[in-house]
Structure 1
Amino acid sequence: MIKIIVTLIHIVNLVTIFYMVFKEKRSANSIVAWSLVLYIAPLVGFVIFLLIGRKLNKNNMFGIKQMEYETYKTYLEQNKISNHLEHINKNNKDIIESIEKMSYSPYKEKNNIDLFTDSKDFFDELLHSLSLAQKSINIEFYIFKNDEIGMKILKLLEKKAREGIAVRLLYDSVGSRALNRKVLKEFIDAGGMIGEFFPSWLKIINLNMNFRNHRKIVVIDNKIGFVGGFNIGDEYLGKSHKFGYWRDTHIKFKGDAVKDLNLRFLADWKYATKENIDLENALMKTIDFNEEGNDAIQIVSSGPNLSDTFEIKFGYLKMIQKAKKYIYIQSPYLIIDNSISDSLKLAALSGVDVKIMIPGKGDHPFVFWANIFYAGDLLESGVKVYHYDKNAFLHAKTVVIDDQICSIGTANMDTRSFELNFEVNAFIYSNEISRKQKSAFENDLLKSEELTLERYNNRSKIVKLKEGISKLFSSIL
């Protein structure tokens, strides 16, 4: 009997491997890694594959894309770049146009941006802005914890809902496991609306857990937008002994691009809740901005799709290729494919100052050692890599080039963010904000230690072993 069961498991695993090879768009590295997992641990490996290895099925993909199209089409045409080509900086026309052609990412010029790199400053501003809401609050986070800061924000949302303000809270089923109807009961009773992205009937087991809504979006009254790396939880305020000080980057902005961030939220909301949203009321009415800025923004979304068009990744690639003077990157994860790696190497070999900052300690051991491997591969080409303060955790997801363009958002510099997670970034065309991001990076360098080629080449055999194992499974991390 046992032999029959074992044989059946091996047959199922073999069929799974053939399915990956012939039916799915999947990299060779991913196929090899999963085949190894299925071979080493046939039963456990198959269960893990079901949980975190499957590609998103076509029905889900088409469902999400169809929802987005129906949401976007109402005013897609009037925001096309061709309608305002004369206003665009010619130096940036290529990247703006290429991003817009990939997806709905209109270029909006009249924005005013505030940059936040400290968690206390960010949460103070978020709470203040939420308290001033008059009509609507749309809030979406990958992680929303029911700890001190989480409950403080939830109570404020509950208060605003009782005042008659339309409050929508969307959270990811995997990232926000602590949220449930018991925790949210008072908020719901107050008139607050909730949505759960890819919910599961079991909190522990979720067959869609590999596809996470990693977005962090707040839109208030369709006038104020927040997007960036912070989630909602005490650890993001530096209260975790494991992580220490939390270094992240977030923006608050007012202006024309707030509509596009709100549209991103509403597309996610519509998919998760099936609510028939009155877009004319939510988006189309003219907004009287008290102030207009000079910062231009494209809100760029990405997620798993059948065409393998990964918008944020392609945007990063275009930035790397455009840079003439410097490229400064911050990311907690550095698990990159050949396209990103080769572009960074070529930029460095061409005389561009390429600096990448990653955490000095990891939140996941395999990811940390995979970071080291991919960082080490870049060093010989002249790319400089730095480990941020070991008593803190670097979680910022930023790219800035040449004091001209920067990207701030939710997407890490890794394959998961590029191909599996649902992400959103603000691509910002502003000399002032780019310089501020550059200055923040340079201040962080004072707390960082460079990973030199000499140090990397002298690493111990144990470290090399950890790197090798992590590299082997890096495509499925």
Structure 2
Amino acid sequence: MTLPSSLATAWVVIEYVIKIIALGTIPENRRPSSSTAWLILIFLLPVVGLPLYLLLGSPRVTGKRYRQQVEVNEMALRYTAHLPDAPPGASESRHLESILRMNRRLTGLPCLTGEVIALHDDSAATYAAMARAIDGATTSVSVECYIQSWDDVTDVFYSALERAAARGVKVRLLLDHLGSRKYPGWKTLGKRLSAAGIEWWLMMPLLPFRLRWRRPDLRNHRKLLIIDNERAFIGSHNIIDPTYLLRRNRRAGRVWKDLTVEVTGAIVAEAQAVFAMDWLFEADELLDVFALSPARKRKPGVSRPVHKRSTSTIAEALPEAIPEVGQEPAPTVGSAAPRPGRPDAVVNAMQLVPSGPGYPLEPNLRMFLSLIQGATRRVSITSPYFIPDEALLAAITSAAYRGVRVELFVGKESDQFIVNHAQRSYYPALLAAGVRIFRYPPPTVLHSKYMTVDGEVAVIGSSNMDFRSFTLNYEVMLLAFGGDLDDLLRANDDAYRAVSEELTAEQWAAEPRYLRYIDNVCRLMSSVL
């Protein structure tokens, strides 16, 4: 069957109009690699490419949520204006001082002090440590995590939340809708949380029939636990069995290896503030710490709020989410801060760096770039999904060409086919520059996310080194210097290096050509997905 000539002509004209418009609009404020990928898709398959672009093409949130984020950041800047860029005793270089100032300008959060209680890697032991901390809670517990599942391994964690709620502690919990719903136990999770007395909300929900809808490609990937506004866990652990409860993982013996830092001190206030902002965005509720009249009670979970708040009210209320810091003499960076289980703990200068679609200037990427560009001796990067953009790849390889010792720790096998092959496509450029690539052996999936620079600065949190974490996911990273976090993370590097296989240029040259072809195709696809 053929179309009438008039319809065929009209179709050709429409196709060309779509392509001409795409040429002049898609590259605006977008990475060249991403622009190229979208243009290829639209030029080859306009009927498919255009609707996909209209649905997923923008890397930013818009409307009310974006206005709220901007006003919240501006208010945080005004509220903390009396604080210095770095706390007393911090001996930051001029370059690091400028990075702290940039982070503060982009996120509204200054550099404070904090102490490391512990680094946690084993999942079961991490959940047990979290449970012990929760059992000591007296006022509040705040949980924000991308993937959550109440299973045999995580039962110790959720049972501690249940006990806390039973003794009158206010327990609030946020979990990403798409992140959690594909795992066993999802259908009963909400009921179990409610029955345990936990007030919970979905992050970035996809519930159009309940008037709660967010774009499916924008997710909240943060992992935070805050107890009594005094202790926080920040890192890469999701709250789920380390096999992710999938049969294929259990058959293969595949488990996820993560890293989370437990901290105390003034920095916890910033973790609580990030949680409070996300709670406000999802629950439309001003928390008790805002010192305002509580919102009318609603059924927790997925129901639509029955009232609305203006962004101005939200912005005016934000300062109460950040407890007064700087009113008393702050501990001196580098001084001793003995803690139970850590008699050798010292005070770190710490700054929390949230990022995501509400932050159009990509604070996490800019921080990574600035730290690497200023490195003079050593850079170590650990990331499960390493798909750098042009600027980050240039910064890493330039550091290596300058004589900086650059190490990259990745998994030899990834749980995601496209990501695994896209990541491999960057190895030739890295190896040519002298970057040492250490691949953690399968079946373990290396999922830790951190970076150290020059034996002085450490960054750890939820952000991968890829386009999704820079632009599409809400992430949070903790920057620290002047204390012991960098030492602890470099010791962790030693443990990873001891069991990993270093990839050499000779080994890479022996890779089959068909695999390189797949790598390059997946690299192009990763700019869109």
Tell whether the structures are fold-level matches, with TM greater than 0.5.
yes
Give the direction of change, closer, same or farther, for the CA distance of 1:290–1:90 in structure 2 (3 Å limit): closer
Asked if structure 2 preserves the Cα contact closer than 8 Å seen for 1:110 and 1:256, the reply is yes
Partner SS state of residue 436, structure 1: helix
Structure number, greater radius of gyration: 2
Q: Which residue of 1 aligns with 2:236?
A: 229
CA distance in 2, matches of 1:226, 1:141: 11
Asked if structure 1 preserves the Cα contact closer than 8 Å seen for 2:356 and 2:475, the reply is yes
The structural deviation recorded for 1:94 is: 3.2
Q: Which residue of 2 aligns with 1:258?
A: 268
Structure 1 position 184 matched with structure 2 position 190? yes
Asked if structure 2 preserves the Cα contact closer than 8 Å seen for 1:325 and 1:352, the reply is yes
Structure 1 position 284 matched with structure 2 position 288? no
Asked if structure 1 preserves the Cα contact closer than 8 Å seen for 2:90 and 2:349, the reply is no
Partner SS state of residue 218, structure 2: coil
Q: Which residue of 1 aligns with 2:200?
A: 194
The structural deviation recorded for 1:365 is: 1.1
Structure 1 outlier segments of 4+, above 6 Å: 4-10, 285-290
Asked if structure 1 preserves the Cα contact closer than 8 Å seen for 2:364 and 2:470, the reply is yes
The structural deviation recorded for 1:156 is: 2.9
Structure 1 position 472 matched with structure 2 position 475? no
Output the aligned Cα RMSD. 3.3
The structural deviation recorded for 1:16 is: 8.3
Give the direction of change, closer, same or farther, for the CA distance of 1:38–1:150 in structure 2 (3 Å limit): farther
Give the direction of change, closer, same or farther, for the CA distance of 1:225–1:355 in structure 2 (3 Å limit): same
CA distance in 2, matches of 1:353, 1:176: 38
Letter in 2 for 1:169: L
Of 212, 222, 227, the residue aligned with 1:220 is 227
CA distance in 1, matches of 2:175, 2:71: 18
Q: Which residue of 1 aligns with 2:280?
A: 270
Give the direction of change, closer, same or farther, for the CA distance of 1:28–1:70 in structure 2 (3 Å limit): closer
Give the direction of change, closer, same or farther, for the CA distance of 1:266–1:277 in structure 2 (3 Å limit): same
Asked if structure 2 preserves the Cα contact closer than 8 Å seen for 1:198 and 1:272, the reply is yes
Partner SS state of residue 473, structure 1: helix
Describe how 1:76-475 pairs up with structure 2 within 5 A: 76-81=80-85, 87-91=89-93, 92-177=96-181, 182-201=188-207, 208-235=215-242, 240-241=249-250, 242=252, 244-280=254-290, 283-284=322-323, 293-305=346-358, 308-475=360-527
Give the direction of change, closer, same or farther, for the CA distance of 1:39–1:155 in structure 2 (3 Å limit): farther
Asked if structure 1 preserves the Cα contact closer than 8 Å seen for 2:149 and 2:186, the reply is no
The structural deviation recorded for 1:274 is: 0.7
Give the direction of change, closer, same or farther, for the CA distance of 1:19–1:263 in structure 2 (3 Å limit): farther
Asked if structure 2 preserves the Cα contact closer than 8 Å seen for 1:228 and 1:251, the reply is yes
CA-to-partner distance for each residue in 1:284-308, whole Å, 9 max, x for gaps? 36899995841221011111257x4
The structural deviation recorded for 1:348 is: 0.9
Is there any run of 5+ residues in structure 1 with no aligned partner, and where?
none
Letter in 2 for 1:456: W
CA distance in 1, matches of 2:243, 2:208: 27
Letter in 2 for 1:194: W
Partner SS state of residue 148, structure 1: coil
Asked if structure 2 preserves the Cα contact closer than 8 Å seen for 1:330 and 1:396, the reply is yes
Partner SS state of residue 79, structure 1: coil
Letter in 2 for 1:367: V
Letter in 2 for 1:447: V
Query: How many residues align structurally?
Result: 473
Asked if structure 2 preserves the Cα contact closer than 8 Å seen for 1:52 and 1:207, the reply is no
Asked if structure 2 preserves the Cα contact closer than 8 Å seen for 1:20 and 1:31, the reply is no
Asked if structure 1 preserves the Cα contact closer than 8 Å seen for 2:439 and 2:501, the reply is yes
CA distance in 2, matches of 1:17, 1:57: 26
CA-to-partner distance for each residue in 1:169-212, whole Å, 9 max, x for gaps? 11112102258685322432554211222211269x97512111
CA distance in 1, matches of 2:152, 2:419: 29
CA-to-partner distance for each residue in 1:47-105, whole Å, 9 max, x for gaps? 65465444334215523414634773683223342xx6653314242332232232223
Task: Name whichever of 20-29 and 220-229 sits farther off.
Answer: 20-29
Give % identity. Answer: 26
Is there any run of 5+ residues in structure 2 with no aligned partner, and where?
292-320, 329-336, 340-344
The structural deviation recorded for 1:421 is: 0.9
Asked if structure 2 preserves the Cα contact closer than 8 Å seen for 1:158 and 1:186, the reply is no
CA distance in 2, matches of 1:157, 1:9: 61
User: TM-score, normalised to structure 1's length?
Assistant: 0.88
Partner SS state of residue 262, structure 2: strand
The structural deviation recorded for 1:458 is: 2.5
